[in-house]
């Protein structure tokens, strides 16, 4: 077996973070914290940010009435607030979906 060259500490730490999933848990925490601030107490209790995919934030909503209200009247405003609080998450739009049981 040939000897290996020493690895940079920054590279080793980046690999460790990736392997252990620390970066993902930090991103999930940022997502949930930002949504809680944007949605406020009343809406954050009835909604759950699920994921960001291709710039779309998917949010599960517990009731169809709230889903209709958020999608029809509050989507652009919530998107803008989310972008201002967390530009690093690169959310372009929000899609609300009825949460499964």
The SS3 assignment for 31 reads: helix
Residue 22 in this model has a pLDDT that exceeds 60: no
CA distance linking residue 84 with residue 90, whole number of Å: 10
Taking only the tens place, the pLDDT of each residue in 25-63 is: 565 788 999 999 999 999 999 999 999 999 999 999 999
For residue 5, the model assigns a pLDDT of: 72
Write down the pTM of the prediction. 0.74
Q: Which fold has domain 9-98?
A: GMP Synthetase; Chain A, domain 3 (3.30.300)
**Helices marked H in the chain — which ranges?**
9-20, 22-44, 64-69, 75-85
For residue 29, the model assigns a pLDDT of: 80
Instruction: Calculate the average pLDDT of the chain.
Output: 87
């Amino acid at each position: 077996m040939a000897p290996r060259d020493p690895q940079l500490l920054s590279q080793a730490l980046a690999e460790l973070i990736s392997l252990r999933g620390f970066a993902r848990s930090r991103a999930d925490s940022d997502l949930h914290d930002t949504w809680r601030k944007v949605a406020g107490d009343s809406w954050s209790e009835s909604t759950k940010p699920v994921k960001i995919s291709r710039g779309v934030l998917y949010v599960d909503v517990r009731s169809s009435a709230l889903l209709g209200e958020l999608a029809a009247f509050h989507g652009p405003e919530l998107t803008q607030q989310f972008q201002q609080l967390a530009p690093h998450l690169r959310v372009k739009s929000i899609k609300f979906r009825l949460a499964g049981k």
